[in-house]
Structure 1
Amino acid sequence: MEPLLAQLRAAAEPTRLRLLALCARGAFCVSELCAILGQSQPRLSRHLRLLVEAGLLERLPEGANVYFQLPPMADLARQILARLPEEDPTIAADRRAAARIAAERARAASEAFRRDGADWDEMRALGLPAGAIEMALLALLPERLGRVADIGTGTGRLLEVMAPRAESVLGLDASREMLALARARLGERGIGNASVRLADMYRLPLPDAGFDAVTLQMVLHYAEDPTAALAEAARLLRPDGLLVVIDLAPHARQELLARSAHRWPGFDDAALAGWFGAAGCAPLPAVEIAGPLPVRLWPARRLAVPVAALPETTLNF
């Protein structure tokens, strides 16, 4: 009973209710929350600490910043927020201020990418049929999902695509600039069940078997060790969970290896099947999407018992 009472006490304060309502719509750092609510950092830091201690918010360090958002399983917080009137003038004003902060965040990240000459939207840069690829992905996914992770999420487009089918979607990326763009996208669209997190795809800061589906779109061709990357992705899946790799099939565009820093010139079905098997997954039929470069979606199911762990059998004739 005490944890429930602690959460109710933590939420029963106007500023903390406003913080919960904001963080239900996206992740914000302390300076952004100060700007939105017009309150001092020491005061807001105390409110945030109480909400984190009660389990109503989670704290995500990222470089010099710390972001706050609703945890995936914050059911009580969402039930409380559902009772807040949409037309409440304070909540509406906070949302307008949050939208302005999200737009400024996106503009700053985009300007940094243009200044540094980074080509962050690879699907567009290669002229790939993003719409057809997204439709093919949705056709592979169940109509209803629990938790979904997107490794190498980039600007967060796949999170936006998958969010309507999932309880929660989590984007993971090693680039802070990418995460800034993804946060801006999610905030502008009001996608409350999506979040992003800084992470290395070879060492994901997440527990085993916590997700129903994991995706990697246009990520594997950058990987020095695809076997290790897929093994780490598979580790996140519950038994019978779905792993989907979206990437280039074999191609002859050798300039991409130098110009775009691709480590691999596409993958064939045999390579993916072998890597899936080593990761404890059973490959399913691949789907090919026509375009200027061949793209395939390789799905696989996480085995309840890894192949290596199955007992040996002796056949008697």
Structure 2
Amino acid sequence: MVYIPTRLAATLLALPLLARGVPLVDRGEGPSSDEATTAVSDDTINANFVRPAQFARIAYCSSDAVEKWDCGEPCQALGMGDVEPLVVGGDGGRIPRFFVAHDKTTQSLVVAHQGTDASNVLSVINDAEFILKDINSTLFPKAGSGVQVHDGFAWTQERTADTVLATVKAGLVSKNVSKVAVTGHSLGAAIATMDALMLKMNLDPSVEISTVVFGLPRGGNSDYANLIDSTLGSSFTFITHKNDPVPTVPPRFIGYQHSSGEVHISQTDAASGNATVTVACPGQENSNCVDGNSLFSISIPDHIGPYFANVSMSGKNCPL
């Protein structure tokens, strides 16, 4: 656990803005929820969250390893013959690694995006571009007016959007499937969320899209949060882990807002890496979950995990 005084913590959260000379204008905060949480069962976790976590972990592996589906234990956990990569791309920097694959076990396509590589300055710069910008109306034709997104996340998502959309469209036909699962961690979670919206708006309505992301930072304004709620609804889940500070940035007072769909891990077993207390958090910015965490209890390691089934997210957890 890393304990940080409140003033220092606030300064750290604002550093990317200060580095660009951006004034921290208070735009007010969106709605909050204080509804009681409900326990998430192990059956729900195993059925809905473990496999996306395993795919999100693999997005940190080298492109060569993913293309060959030979990335050690992370690939083995999903089955060596059960996943067929359709496209693998990214450089781990300006374009974070990503892949689209056919998951034969669930008879679905999977889209997965790599998270921030702290050792790669270009990857960090993607996160540091905090300014809100209007959403791309070409990629998101049904977004409507007023929707603004984090410009660093938006530019990063746009670099791979055409490839992801084209590959998914082709894969739905060639693999004769009608389901798409989207996942990612950290920066990859932000990109994956935008991908899910893009796919929902550009694919046939009969295609089932489910999204489970991990360690998601706030990606846009209240209109963006509402767009996620109205477009993806209950098919969208973002997992937060204990005292991870990343889901609390960018700060709400400059106009950022999380959607609904948070599932919060509040306790894990250190020996097994399994979540022992996991709760569903109704509404947007539920104060009983990550939004209610104290700045005195920030834990950077909590951002890495483990999330479920001893799955942690970083290049160090992918041997190849």
Identify the structure with bigger relative contact order (alpha carbons < 8 Å, sequence gap 6+).
Answer: 2
Q: TM-score, normalised by structure 1?
A: 0.26
- Structure number with the higher helix fraction is 1
Structure having the higher Rg = 1
Q: TM-score, normalised by structure 2?
A: 0.26
